[in-house]
Amino acid sequence: MLSIFFVLFLSSSLVLSDSVRDQVCGFDYPSYYPPIALNNAILLQSQVVIRHGDRLPWQGKLCWPSASETFSCSLADTSIPNNSPQQFSSSPNRLYRKRVMPGRNYYPGDCLTGQLTSRGYNQHLSNGRKFYSAYTKASLLSASYSPKEIYLRSDNEERTVQSAQALFMGMYNLSSISQTQIIDIHTMDRNNDDMTINSWLCPVTSEFQDAAHQSPEYLYHIKTVMQPLWDQMSILYGVAVSQDNFNDLLDCSVVYYCNNFTLPEGVDGPFILSMNQAQAWQWSYTYAYPNVEIGAQTGIGFLIKDIYDALKRAVAQASSNVEESQSSNFTNFVLYSGHDTTILPLTVAYRVSDGYLPHYASTLFWELFKVDNNFRVRMVYNEKELLIPGCDSVYCDYNTFLKITETLLPNEKLCQYIEK
């Protein structure tokens, strides 16, 4: 079954963005929002998972021997400690700005490892404007910000927090605000965070990953796909390439390509995209081992449970005709700011992956609709509506969607099992 799934997985990669650059780097222009095509539909909720925007290399290693670019970052944090739970405060007389000391960092320049760039920030400004336009038009969100309508969540990486800030700023700018507005972005300790697959939450996931990497199918892929690619890369990059440094080289190549820096001769967008696809296969195979359901139940299923619970709360409220203002458990718009390793396992779990790593500022979202007395769920990834296997259309019957999702939720009994 796993082999059949990955034949389908690779064939789906034929559906690509019109631009290699868009597929690798993400959009530098307002992305498309597929219009709602349901008669008499009321949009009740949208849950949006994003990858952070364009950033510096994250690994803190020399990219390749000839790499010599100096990175310049103008994006900075300005903030002040605050222990008030209030939404507004009088304008602060002082803000603190974190400045990176030039020449004292791993990469030449004044940027931190993995730092969000101005381009990455602008990518999510654009995403925010898209969602604001679509969701105010659909009456999901008010024209002016209302805290009860929006919940922002991020892991505790600076680039994901800033990406959430950028998207929110794109939705609601500061032009009509006379006071300092305090916006909550919810986060947690890394050991408890389910924004990516976390062996602290389910220790057995590490065993499944190790087993996946020793499986005949994975080893065959290494021999027939990865090793020839590594051999070619070794010539192009001037360093010996193996599993140990492949992802680092891919990451650096994406950063250099997306920021128009000088790449090694022979390395271009299509070649980087082929590296991207090879890495996506490896990660996706691991996420779906020993099968898609168990892979999710011991991995990204913890985040799916958060999405599932929020969806059920929205339906329960809509079914009981309780006014939104009377409930603190329902939120119209929920944002989860994470990584490519957040979005990819989600698309693998629902069997809708396009065969590539999610590009910078990718968006994956679930929309909940009420149509007469029924509910439907639409899943959209980077401008494309997704037909989830088992659903009758891209507007999946709510109960069908729940049944599919329930096969992906955390399996506590399995997570407690560790083979001795």
Residue 386 phi, psi dihedral angles, 5° rounding? -110, 130
pTM for the structure as a whole: 0.93
Asked whether residue 311 carries a pLDDT value surpassing 60, the answer given is yes
pLDDT tens track for 180-189 = 888 999 999 9
pLDDT of 182 reads: 87
375-390: b or e for each residue (b if 16 or more CB lie within 10 Å)?
bbbbbbbbeeebebee
Asked whether residue 89 carries a pLDDT value surpassing 70, the answer given is no
Band the pLDDT of 218: cuts 50, 70, 90: very high
d(CA 76, CA 254) in angstroms, rounded, equals 23
pLDDT of 366 reads: 98
**What's the token pair of residue 193?**
């965070």
Q: Are strands 185-186 and 150-154 parallel, antiparallel or unpaired?
A: parallel
pLDDT of 92 reads: 77
d(CA 206, CA 299) in angstroms, rounded, equals 10
Q: Which residue's structure tokens are 């969540």?
A: 153
**What's the token pair of residue 71?**
């990175």
**What's the token pair of residue 140?**
């999901």
Asked whether residue 256 carries a pLDDT value surpassing 90, the answer given is yes
Q: Which residue's structure tokens are 């805290």?
A: 147
pLDDT tens track for 4-29 = 344 334 434 333 345 899 999 999 88
Q: Which residue's structure tokens are 């990204």?
A: 300
pLDDT of 381 reads: 98
The DSSP letter of residue 151 is E
Residue type, 53: G
**What's the token pair of residue 223?**
């021999």
Q: Which residue's structure tokens are 């691991």?
A: 286
d(CA 185, CA 178) in angstroms, rounded, equals 21
pLDDT tens track for 332-373 = 999 999 999 999 999 999 999 999 999 999 999 999 999 999
Please give the share of the chain, as a percent, with pLDDT higher than 70.
Answer: 90
pLDDT of 68 reads: 86
Band the pLDDT of 303: cuts 50, 70, 90: very high
d(CA 95, CA 179) in angstroms, rounded, equals 15
Nearest Cα residue to 163 out of 172, 153, 173: 153
**What's the token pair of residue 309?**
């619970």
Cα–chain center distance at 385: 16
Q: DSSP for 251-294?
A: HHHHHHHHTTPPPPTT--HHHHHHHHHHHHHHHHHHHTSS-HHH
Average pLDDT, the chain: 91
Omega before 102 cis (within 30°)?
Answer: no
d(CA 410, CA 299) in angstroms, rounded, equals 8
Nearest 5 degrees, angle CA 273-CA 275-CA 276? Answer: 60
Cα–chain center distance at 364: 7
Residue type, 306: D
pLDDT tens track for 49-69 = 999 999 999 988 889 998 989
pLDDT of 16 reads: 38
Exposed, middle or buried: residue 83 (CB in 10 Å: 0-12, 13-18, 19+)? exposed
| Termini Cα distance of the chain | 27
Contact 93, 76 (CB under 8 A): no
Contact 341, 76 (CB under 8 A): no
Q: Which residue's structure tokens are 């996931």?
A: 205
Helix (H) or strand (E) holding 315: helix 301-320
pLDDT of 62 reads: 86
